[in-house]
Copies of this chain bind each other. A is one copy, B any other.
Amino acid sequence: MNKLYRAEILSNKAVGRGYRRMKLKAEGIGKTAAPGQFVMLRVTRNLDPLLARPFGIFSTVSGNIIEIVYRIVGRGTILLSDAGPGDELFMLGPLGNGFPAVRKNAVPILVSGGSGFPPLYFLASKTRKRAVVLLGAKSEDCLPPKDVIGGFKKLSSQVRIATEDGSAGETGLITDLLADVLERRSMKGEPVVYACGPNAMLCAVSMIAQKAGIECYVSMEERMACGVGACMGCSIHMNMGGYSRACKEGPVFDSREIRWKQP
- For chain A, residues 135 to 170, give those with C-beta under 8 angstroms from any C-beta of chain B: none
Interface string of A33-63 (1 = CB under 8 A from B): 0000000000010111100000000000000
A79 to B48, CA, bound (A): 13
A47 vs B47: C-alpha distance when bound (angstroms): 8
How far does the alpha carbon of A47 sit from the alpha carbon of B44 in the complex, in Å? 12
A75 interface residue per 8 A CB criterion: yes
- Please name all residues of chain B whose beta carbon is closer than 8 Å to the beta carbon of A44 when the two chains form the complex: 46
Interface size class of A (residues with CB under 8 A): under 10
A46, closest chain B residue (CB): B48
Which partner residue on chain B sits nearest A47 by CB separation?
B48
In Å, the complex CA distance between A47 and B50 comes to 10
User: Which chain B residues lie closer than 8 Å to A46 at the CB level?
Assistant: 44, 46, 48-49, 75, 79
- In the complex, the chain B residue whose C-beta lies closest to that of A79 is B46
Chain B: minimal CB distance from A182 (Å): 47
A192 to B75, CA, bound (A): 52
Instruction: Give A41 Cβ to nearest chain B Cβ, in Å.
Output: 16
Q: Bound complex: CA of A46 vs CA of B47, how far in Å?
A: 9
Bound Cα distance A49, B44 (Å): 11
Q: Can you name the residue of chain B whose Cβ is closest to the Cβ of A49?
A: B46
Min CB–CB distance A9 → chain B (angstroms): 14
Q: Which residues of B contact A75 (CB under 8 A)?
A: 46
Residues on the B chain within 8 Å of A47, using CB = 48
| Binary flags per residue of A77-94, CB closer than 8 Å to B gives 1, else 0 | 001000000000000000
Question: Which residues 4-58 of A sit at the B interface, judged by CB distance below 8 A?
Answer: 44, 46-49
CB distance from A28 to the nearest CB of B (A): 29
8 residue pairs from A and B, CB less than 8 Å apart? A44-B46, A46-B46, A46-B48, A46-B49, A46-B75, A46-B79, A47-B48, A48-B48
Please give 4 more A-B residue pairs, beta carbons under 8 A apart, in addition to A46-B48, A47-B48, A48-B48.
A44-B46, A46-B46, A46-B49, A46-B75
- Ranked nearest first, the 8 interchain pairs of A and B with the lowest CB-CB distance are A48-B48, A47-B48, A46-B48, A46-B49, A46-B75, A46-B46, A44-B46, A46-B79
